[in-house]
Structure 1
Amino acid sequence: MSDAEFQERIKAYEGRSAVVGGVGRDPVNSPMIRHWCEALGHPVPVDGTAPATMLQVWTMAGLSGHGDRSGPYDELLGILDAAGFTAVVATDCEQEYLRPLRPGDRIAFDAVIESVSPRKTTKLGTGYFITTRMDLRRGTEPVGSHRFRILKYAPAPPQKPQKTAAKRPRPVINRDNSGFWEGVSRHELLIQRCTDCATPRFPWLPGCDRCGGQGWDTVRASGSGTVYSYVVMHHPPFPAFAPPYAVALVELAEGVRMVANVSGVPYDKVRIGMAVELEFTEVEPGLTLPVFRAKEEV
């Protein structure tokens, strides 16, 4: 089969259903709202409604799988698998919110295969972007939509090591965060603090995300923290970074969290709850970054 014929075959799935008559496994509920807010450091809405960005939560199938997924979507993925496009990665999503969701709301949804792209070549490999659109409703009332895009691809062969060392990307410094980077240059980790409600915030923002106040001052972080969460990066390779390496979300003693590297232990020894201490490292001439060193060797 030629490339043109294969493209025509998979494009024929555009407009066909991906889910018909789906129903959320659980109604919108307060415990899930609280857990989600705590995990993301988001204030629990005082009116009891679910944060709008939880929209996808109420449609997720969980570990039991997608029992409501339709035949055409599985057929499309099967065709791509058989043609060698066996790997998959989610690339992006778009959401539209039409009304707040409240505890007790039971969400129903349908989804359609909205588009199949021409063949694309990326650093991951060559494949096709598949976009599905999910329309969510409460009874017959629309409540939102969710577009989700994946890349089904044939993995590219491993790249040869670069002969010359690449430079790390430089931080984007603007008028909203320049004070933070000035502090880093002095080996100080500065946290913003709202002068109206005294809420600390990080990263730096032009206004308080709790009370909306525009006034602020700074607090110098003590440097003590714990690993709140972390990921180990294996792929994709990125110039100036040598995977695998750990990237941690560190909770500082002052109550804010920041993303940073953890030093002093191998990447596979980083653990949630690990005590860490701030240090400043010149990763390259002219580029100093705050990192966190494990207090005890593992």
Structure 2
Amino acid sequence: MTGESDELGARLKVYEGQPAAVSGMGKDPVNLPMIRHWCEAMGDTNPAYEGPEAIAPPTMLQAWTMGGLSGHVGRTGAYDELLTLLDEAGCTSIVATDCEQEYLKPLRPGDRVAFDTVIESVSERKTTKLGTGYFVTTRTDVRVGDDLVGTHRFRVLKYAPSRKRPAKKARRPRPVVNRDNAGFWEGVAEGRLLVQRCADCGTLRHPWLPGCNACGSLDWDTVESSGEGTVYSYVVMHHPPFPAFDPPYAVGLIELAEGVRMVSNVVGVPYDKVRIGLPVRVEFRRHEDEDGALTLPVFRVVDVLDGEA
């Protein structure tokens, strides 16, 4: 992975345009139970996803093509060969970087999806904070019968982990503050958890948006949350490590007493004791570094499990 020439990059470029899956078939037809599970997990109550005329949420496009642990019939060896070349060159780590989806037609319960996947592009060698490697993009065209219903592009970085150690504690990344959410962060700095409220229909919303997702009104005010809530869902972060953080740690989707949900750290119990349904209360933590002071809301468990603090 060192030196000026990039012989590996030239070998990888050969795989551009090669198929990664041909005539793959979704393991299950589009179905209402999966749609229901998805909507419950996302908190999406759109009526278009219910009843006899239901359609599938467009963002489920990839879900209908996933092969699970046993994989798919139709998978070719080209993608595995490309990844093996990268492994042999020391690019043994992988992280998903982004995906792009295009929706052309709605999917409905009973539809059987077929798909073809191609290795669309392999980048030149790139050096990132994680390490040096290559971005690999695949494109999956999803069809029902002869109709193209959507396209899914998925990009990963396959890299050799950097062995450099930071000389000093890394600075904590700052939230992106813009004109739409500045009021929220101003409230946090004052130790207040503010929730946007539509001035027309009264619907509460988070994250902060310029308009109401219920009625479309652009007028709004705020209410101050009590800070009480429960863990609606959570993940435990192990990888990738980031110098400003100390994994493993729990990140929760918190349902506030007012009914909206927000993402933040869950503290007060060990990461492996976090559970769905735990009662929590907001706590404002102040961080100091070279960039100045930063206050962030986290959620502390208010009832300790099994006597552990």
Residues 24-72 of structure 1: CA deviation (Å, up to 9, x unaligned): 1111112211211111112234251112111111111123223331122
Q: What residue in structure 1 maps to residue 294 of structure 2?
A: 287
TM-score, reference length from structure 2:
0.87
Q: Does the Cα contact within 8 Å between 2:25 and 2:73 map onto a contact in 1?
A: no
Q: Which range moves more in the overlay, 11-20 or 167-176?
A: 167-176
Percent identity between matched residues is 68
Which of these residues, 96, 102, 107, is aligned with residue 90 of structure 1?
96
Letter in 1 for 2:125: R
Q: How does 1:134-153 map to 2 (within 5 A)?
A: 134-153=140-159
The worse-fitting range, judged by mean Cα deviation, of 101-110 and 176-185 is: 176-185
Supply the distance in 2 between the matched residues of 1:203 and 1:247 (Cα, whole angstroms).
Answer: 16
Q: Which letter does structure 2 place at the counterpart of 1:142? A: L
* Matches of 2:176 and 2:123, distance apart in 1: 32
* 1:37 and 2:39 aligned: yes
Q: What's the secondary structure of 2:61's corresponding residue? A: helix
Please state whether the residue corresponding to 1:63 is helix, strand or coil. coil
Indicate yes or no: 2:300 matched with 1:296. no
Deviation at 1:293, TM superposition (A): 1.0
Given that residues 248 and 259 in structure 1 are in contact (C-alpha distance below 8 angstroms), is that contact kept between their aligned partners in structure 2? yes
1:160 matched to 2:162? The reply is no
- TM-superposed CA distance for 1:233, in Å, is 2.6
Q: How many residue pairs get matched?
A: 295
Residue number in structure 2 paired with 1:240: 244
Change (3 A) 1:288 1:9: closer
1:63 to 43, 60, 69: 69
- CA–CA distance in 2 between the matches of 1:130 and 1:118? 10
Over the aligned positions, Cα root-mean-square deviation in angstroms equals 2.2
Deviation larger for 203-212 or 18-27:
203-212
Q: Tell me the SS of whatever aligns to 2:183.
A: helix
Equivalent pair of 1:34/1:44 in contact (CA under 8 Å): no
Alignment of 1:108 with 2:114, yes or no, is: yes
Residue correspondence of structure 1 range 1-298 to structure 2 within 5 A: 4-46=6-48, 48-157=54-163, 159-163=164-168, 165-284=169-288, 286-297=293-304, 298=308
User: What secondary structure is seen at the aligned counterpart in 1 of 2:151?
Assistant: strand
Cα distance change of structure 1 residues 4 and 240 upon mapping to structure 2, 3 Å threshold = closer
Q: CA deviation at 1:4?
A: 4.2
Structure 1, residues 144-169: CA drift from partner, whole Å, max 9, x if none? 11111112222222x43433x44433
Alpha-carbon distance in 1 for matches of 2:36, 2:110: 15
8 A Cα contact 2:139 2:153, kept in partner: yes
The answer for unaligned runs of 5 or more in structure 1 is none
Aligned partners of 1:293, 1:4: CA distance in 2, in Å?
50
